[in-house]
A and B are shown apart, each in its own frame.
Chain A
Amino acid sequence: MVDTSAVPQASGVPVVRLRGIGKRFPGVIANDDINITIDRGTIHAIVGENGAGKSTLMKILYGVQPPDSGTIEVDGQTVSFSSPADAIKSGIGMVFQHFMLADNLTVLENVVLGAESLHGIGAKARAEIERLSTAYGLGIEPDRLVEDLGVGARQRVEILKVLYRGARVIVLDEPTAVLVPQEVDELFANLRELKAEGLAVIFISHKLDEVRSVADTITVVRRGTTVASVSPAEVTSRQLAELMVGSELPTPSTEASTVTDRVVLEVRDLTLAGENRPLVDDVSLTIHAGEILGIAGVEGNGQAELVESILGMRAGVTGSVVLAGEDLSAASTRVRRESGIGYVPEDRHRHGLLLDAPLWENRVLGHQTRAPLVRRGLIDRGAARRDTERIVEEYDVRTPGVGVLARALSGGNQQKLIVGREMSGDPLVLIASHPTRGVDVGAQAAIWDQIRTARRNGLAVLLISADLDELIGLSDRIEIILRGRLVASFDPDDVTPETLGSAMTGAGGAE
């Protein structure tokens, strides 16, 4: 279907060529035989699943980590980078997903840092920044503190940093993940400007629609290997996605509705104030027994805050949370969880697990007040171990034993353990944030099955996901969250990912 040689070759030597790049970490192969060719004056996208090895590849290209094998060529010359400084010298600049800016320094200080030899740190540097800012329409004031800037402005500072150093190749790692739609449009305009000036832009993403709209060439990375280079005109988003996953995309199939009219979770007028605008803005939602309510939205639109507000993890929340008739609005997180809220957190390392504790202690986490694990304030180790063994068995957690540290498990097995644990607490409602993010395909299918089974048994589920197919396949109803508000509601039976996608960016109309 895809011809890997169909990449339009611009004249002359490619500005960057990666050949046979490999990188291993203890126990993991992050990169294996990566081959990419990038021409000047183009935008080259690199797409792949989370954990496919994109980040490692970029760190290698930018000299943060050395490759174990393979070569990097810049302008036809083989180079080896031992530090980012070397990469910068070769004209490669990097805009990280998590901005590499010091908040308490000014824009000027951040820009000149590491490049003081070019124009000093004073008036000359300021003049140069202003010149670049004007030339590329970046609109940057050199003397403001970075912490006072918004996300879009910070990203422009990062781009300016790279330009200031005279980069000819600009790498952007997931640049749109943190932007609102207008900012994305502005960014793309900036990128086209750069391209017109003859620079090469490497654009890493997993948002396929965006990639197809802005890139000239797309390279797909799967499990650490480049599997194809394609032109955006030739492929659909779905084909790209299948290339990323490596097989027919598993789509959770919708089952017959099990929705009852028994209200389990009722949230009214939930608001969480933020610095400038509310992070959660007057959200009301109702979930019935046997119902899965999906929440779709561009990342950073209040999903995490909504979940944490419902769980009582945030201070300063107003509005009410009622679970099966019990008002929990003023209750602590522990009481809420005891009352029957199960929680599969978005970031399992930060919120879901004690990485340096054995599995059975992780079984107790979040269930410290419940039998059989804990009786009269004392931990029952035997019962905890036995119940963990049961979860390992029932949920197919691949581990040699329950005394193993959670850190030693793979992401998929960690996630299965968490799902098993949360289901074991006999929840009335399960809040699942990105339950299959970063897990392998097998674990993904297993987790979907478990959620569906629980739904049949009358569980209410609040499902937050960035995977639109997952949302459409599992949910009984989908709400769109935009800037902290629920702005639209869809029936998954007659909605496409495209419709959802445009609604998420505020472009589509509400029903």
Chain B
Amino acid sequence: MSVTQTVSRPKPGAAVGRRRLPRWWPLVLAAVILLGLSVLRLVTGADDLLSSGTVRATLIALVPIMLAGLGGLWSERAGVVNIGLEGMMILGTYGAGYFGYHYGAWAGVVGAIVLGMVGGLVHAIATVIFGVDHIISGVAINIIAVGAVQYLASRTFVGLPGGGQTQSPTLPDVQAITIGPLSDALGDLEGKDVFLVSEIAAVLRALVTDLSLLVVLSLLLLVVTYVVLWRTSFGLRLRSVGESPAAAESVGVAVLRYKFAAVLISGGLAGLAGGFLAMVASSNFRDGQTGGRGYIGLAAMIFGNWRPSGLLTGSGLFGYTQTLGLRQGGSSVHALLLAVAVLALALAAYQVYRRQARLGVVLGVVGVALLGLYLAIDEVPGDFTSMTPYVITLLVLAFASQRLRMPAADGQIYRKGSAG
């Protein structure tokens, strides 16, 4: 039947002039962002752009997006598209709620991972064993997860103190780290309002004040993902399965087993993302808590070109805009508008310099328009900040897709014995 065929995804052309970025580019990027935001604050006077509160909130907003994106990364690197991330996250929120309440915070973390893996298991069985179209299976999982969690919540949380059909009782906290004296000292420094110094202090302060262990663990998982996928033979095999399953099978790699494992891990990470939402970003499980973050995670992964460093950048960007939007961000986002306008104009100049006149003109027009918008309005409505991740992803896909390199066999259904 027609829909079980592969749904084709953007096929990147041969990368022309592709250059590998040096390994230290994230550091440079971070420094540039820090400097840029400092300048922006100076110019626009938007004080909340990089306060320690904003940084903290951004970290909290970033982690679930990043974890969901990591889930997507594992699965898609093995060639299985996973739009069921949202559903697996939802299962994770419930897992954290149920196990966290009954057995303590870390049991909640484990519960979230396990329930997410149950979602991954369904996806793996459907796509890997039965060859169901990956998108269809993902949609099904999202439908099932919503229903299952509502059903289970009303079965298990009604009658508990503070619990009900749509929410769990308050959950215990995962430990958080604060280095008291350092935090205070950095707080003082941040308050001094010195160009750049205050910003650096704000970032450092957020890292030593009430930092949830789960945030640390999640960032570690990003590093672990990189090491496992790119530095071990397990990872090589897993990636080969996503790039060319026929080639992998021809040299004796058990393709389906690796896909299965990847989707299970993917589910676990998405579940953890849900657990984080319930236990760290909030204090209990609530129905509808994920709010589409599974999809934002997917978007962050695409934005990040199916790589961990890019994913971190993407989730940072999306988490940051989300945070600004929530923290009376009208003025902050307004300030960002200026930054984007300047960035567009700079890129336009660069393209013209590279004799890419057409692209340069387009970018120039965009830059001028944004600049005009910046001058014309005082505040960006919250509805637009919430759209930012999706608009950015669409733009990236539309205009930079030749720079994106998704796993070559992503989304394709593979049956054993297709080699040769």
Contacts and interface: CB of A to CB of B under 8 A. Distances in A.
Interface of A: 55, 58-59, 62, 64-65, 83-85, 88, 94, 96, 98-105, 109-110, 112-117, 120-121, 147, 161, 165, 173, 275
B250 A96 contact: yes
A105 B250 contact: no
20 contacts: A59-B419, A64-B249, A64-B417, A84-B249, A84-B251, A102-B239, A102-B244, A103-B243, A103-B244, A104-B405, A113-B247, A114-B248, A114-B251, A114-B252, A116-B236, A121-B232, A121-B233, A121-B236, A173-B420, A275-B14
Given A84-B252, A102-B240, A173-B420, A110 B408 contact: no
B240 A62 contact: no
Given A105-B240, A114-B237, A64 B420 contact: yes
Given A83-B252, A100-B251, A104-B243, A94 B420 contact: yes
Interface residues of B, number: 25
Max chain B Cβ within 10 angstroms of own Cβ: one of A55, A114, A120, A121 = A114
Nearest to B231: A121
A115 B249 CA distance: 12
Chain A, interface SS category: loop
Given A101-B244, A105-B239, A116-B236, A161 B420 contact: no
A125 to B, nearest CB: 10
Interface string B247-260: 11111111000000
B100 to A, nearest CB: 40
Max chain B Cβ within 10 angstroms of own Cβ: one of A102, A105, A112 = A102
A113 B232 CA distance: 11
Nearest to A122: B231
B236 A100 contact: no
Nearest to A58: B420
B407 interface: yes
B246 interface: yes
B17 to A, nearest CB: 12
Contacts of A116: 233, 236-237
B409 to A, nearest CB: 9
A100 B246 contact: yes
Contacts of A117: 233
Contacts of B247: 99-102, 110, 113
B420 A59 contact: yes
Chain B, interface SS category: loop
Nearest to B419: A64
Contacts of B253: 113-114
Interface in B400-420: 405, 407-408, 417, 419-420
Closest 5 interchain pairs by CB?
A85-B252, A114-B251, A116-B233, A102-B243, A100-B247
A101 B251 CA distance: 10
A100 B245 CA distance: 9
Nearest to A99: B247
Contacts of B240: 102, 105, 109-110, 113
B250 A94 contact: yes
A229 to B, nearest CB: 24
A9 to B, nearest CB: 30
A165 B252 CA distance: 12
A104 B243 CA distance: 7
B155 to A, nearest CB: 45
A147 B14 contact: yes
Given A65-B417, A102-B247, 13 more contacts: A59-B419, A84-B252, A88-B252, A102-B239, A102-B248, A104-B408, A110-B247, A113-B236, A113-B247, A113-B253, A114-B252, A116-B237, A117-B233
Nearest to A55: B420
Nearest to A84: B252
A116 B233 CA distance: 6
A249 to B, nearest CB: 29
Interface string B55-96: 000000000000000000000000000000000000000000
B420 A104 contact: no
Interface string B215-247: 000000000000000001100110110011011
A84 B408 contact: no
B233 A161 contact: no
A50 to B, nearest CB: 15
Nearest to B245: A102
Contacts of B250: 62, 64, 84, 94, 96, 100
A109 B233 CA distance: 9
A98 B249 CA distance: 14
A110 B405 CA distance: 18
B257 to A, nearest CB: 11
A165 B250 CA distance: 13
B99 to A, nearest CB: 37
A96 B246 CA distance: 11
A96 B251 CA distance: 11
Contacts of A84: 249-252, 419
B417 A105 contact: no
Contacts of B232: 121
Interface in B240-295: 240, 243-244, 246-254
Contacts of A147: 14-15
A162 to B, nearest CB: 10
Contacts of A113: 236-237, 240, 247-248, 251, 253
Contacts of B405: 104
A94 B249 CA distance: 12
Nearest to B243: A102
Contacts of B243: 102-105
A102 B408 contact: yes
Contacts of A96: 250, 419-420
B156 to A, nearest CB: 45
A100 B408 contact: no
Nearest to B234: A116
A110 B243 CA distance: 11
A99 B15 CA distance: 20
Contacts of B248: 102, 113-114
A109 B248 CA distance: 11
Contacts of A173: 420
Given A94-B420, A275-B14, A88 B251 contact: yes
A165 B420 CA distance: 18
Nearest to A65: B417
A117 B405 CA distance: 29
Contacts of B239: 102, 105
A65 B239 CA distance: 24
A156 to B, nearest CB: 16
Nearest to B250: A100
Contacts of B246: 100
Nearest to B20: A145
Interface in B6-55: 14-15
Contacts of A161: 251
B226 to A, nearest CB: 15
A85 B405 CA distance: 30
B236 A112 contact: yes
Max chain A Cβ within 10 angstroms of own Cβ: one of B239, B408, B419 = B419
B410 to A, nearest CB: 11
Contacts of B15: 147
A503 B15 CA distance: 35
A368 B33 CA distance: 57
A61 to B, nearest CB: 10
A357 B107 CA distance: 55
A113 B254 CA distance: 12
A115 B237 CA distance: 10
A490 B237 CA distance: 52
Given A58-B420, A84-B250, A100 B237 contact: no
A117 B237 CA distance: 12
Max chain A Cβ within 10 angstroms of own Cβ: one of B232, B244, B246, B408 = B244
B283 to A, nearest CB: 43
